[in-house]
Structure 1
């Protein structure tokens, strides 16, 4: 077994099996078991559950954003010219672990949305972008903590991602309460733009760190980010152009029912 760079890694990421089990079960349900189960059944009405889920996500990500912002900008933690994980004896090390853990747990929570799609028979919403993004974000936690440890280079990007999630789930909730609200929400396209800013920010930080002669960081994780980020940038750029540039009138129309806004604006 690979030696852990941090002996206090949470048990869910201490070995690959919890993450692998969750993802195998996820793909088995959303691609095979779920559709087979729903084949001769009517779609479930999950509007109440989805509203509650959106509220939970808003609160969860808002708290994560507050804690991460406080840690990143108001405490003596990272040198922003070379963002590496805190040493084991740093007074804020446990806080760094705690924030990263709650962020990582949220990536598993996000998988629930695909289950909603299946149970509502919205199979067309389960796109390559949706599956690739969710599965990658849920799996990267194990590899990041195993090969690098808590915090470091991706912490600023995760902070920005928590901000994007707050915006996104506020939009989802408002849309679920009243579909007509979407017509007056002018900022929904900026959720996608914010996500693109996040990926570009990560790419810039990775390149900057690679060029830094004395910045000690896991080269393997650096190259993974360097390769995967352009894929995300391309996929989300295609989504943005398709929905807001080539067909702005179509994208501005409200969906047929409230929770379909997740399919139109799935950018988390």
Structure 2
């Protein structure tokens, strides 16, 4: 019990003493949690209550052109986000100095932290834009796709992207953001092809593999986070524990979805 209390206290002090980019507080939506909480409250209210009620007696909106433009934008934006990690040499930053016992406060690490913060804000911005996925489902009367997994994933990712940037940024977030952006390139490419029309469905034979790709992504994240703890890397451990918890939850939810969507159909 004493060890657990010490761990909690140590991580609490780590959060208080964390040296985040001081410019973050002046960035859009970062002054306080109010704006992002309002956005998420409006999102949940619309996709769970107002939207379905509004569409109950209306025909589904035909948003073909909008969906093509939206998904094409998401592909390009995800490619750009993934390049941000390469610009800070993500693997060198994570596997190089971050596990070193020496002090991290050098000119190089300060510059990396600044680039990390800028990339994290754009990643957070991407999570806000991705809330439109669910809005489009509702407007197109695809309510069966508004599952607990979908809504939980979008809500929690958006809110904790804000928390990550505002409270306790760390280098381990770079690899997770990079992996997620790469997966989104694949995912939105699928949606883009699907939006082009029925004649392109023959190119979507790989649909069932998308969930497998997401699970592989979470598996890599889980292994990496455990390694940072095992190697006692000089990264914010409170952040690592939080990431670990959510990765485990996502693995469970996506595995359950895969089992219900594909394994039962095969049976």
Partner of 2:86 in structure 1?
69
Q: Does the CA-based 8 Å contact 2:21-2:114 persist in structure 1?
A: no
- Does 2:98 correspond to 1:79? no
1:45 equivalent in alignment to 2:65 = no
Q: How does 1:166-177 map to 2 (within 5 A)?
A: 166-177=185-196
Q: CA deviation at 1:211?
A: 2.3
**Helix, strand or coil: the match of 1:42?**
coil
1:237 aligns with 255
Contact 1:196–1:236 (CA under 8 A) maintained in structure 2: yes
Q: Which residue of 2 aligns with 1:156?
A: 175
Distance in structure 2 (CA, Å) of the matches to 1:3 and 1:43: 51
2: CA distance, partners of 1:65 / 1:72:
11
> Could you tell me which residue of structure 2 aligns to residue 207 of structure 1?
226
* 2:160 matches 1:144: no
Q: Which moved more, 1:164-173 or 1:12-21?
A: 12-21
> Against the structure 1 CA distance between its residues 108 and 28, is the aligned structure 2 distance closer, same or farther, given a 3 Å change threshold?
same
CA deviations over 1:176-209 (Å, ceiling 9, x no partner): 1132433343433332222112212222222222
Answer yes or no: is 1:191 the counterpart of 2:210.
yes
Deviation at 1:87, TM superposition (A): 4.8
For 1:42-80, what per-residue CA distance to the aligned partner results, in whole angstroms no more than 9, with x for missing partners?
211111111110111011111112222342358x63335
Match of 1:228 in 2: 246
The verdict on how the C-alpha distance between 1:87 and 1:101 changes in structure 2, with shifts beyond 3 A counting, is farther
Deviations 1:80-107 (A, max 9, x none): 58469x8584334433222221111100
Aligned to 2:13: none
Q: TM-score, normalised by structure 1?
A: 0.81
Name the counterpart of 2:139.
119
User: Which runs of no fewer than 5 residues in structure 2 stay unpaired?
Assistant: 1-15
Q: Residue 72 of structure 1 contacts residue 156 of structure 1 at CA under 8 Å; is this kept in 2?
A: no
> Which residues of structure 1 form unaligned runs of 5+?
250-268
Map Cα deviations across residues 99-135 of structure 1 (whole Å, 9 max, x no partner): 2211111000110011111112222211000011000
Which whole-Å deviations, capped at 9, do the CAs of 1:211-244 have from their partners, x for residues lacking one?
A: 233x233333222222221111011112223333
2:184 maps to which residue?
165
Q: 2:21 matched to which residue of 1? A: 6
Residue in structure 1 matched with residue 77 of structure 2 by the alignment: 60
Richer in helix (by share): 2
Q: For 1:162 and 1:188, locate their aligned partners in 2 and report how far apart those are by CA, in whole Å.
A: 18
Distance in 2 (alpha carbons) for counterparts of 1:87 and 1:103: 25
Q: Distance in 1 between matches of 2:76 and 2:60?
A: 28
Aligned residues between the structures: 244
> Which portions of structure 1, spanning 4 or more consecutive aligned residues, are displaced by more than 6 angstroms?
none
Query: 1:64 touches 1:103 (CA, 8 Å); kept in 2?
Result: yes
Distance 2:258 2:204 in 1: 16
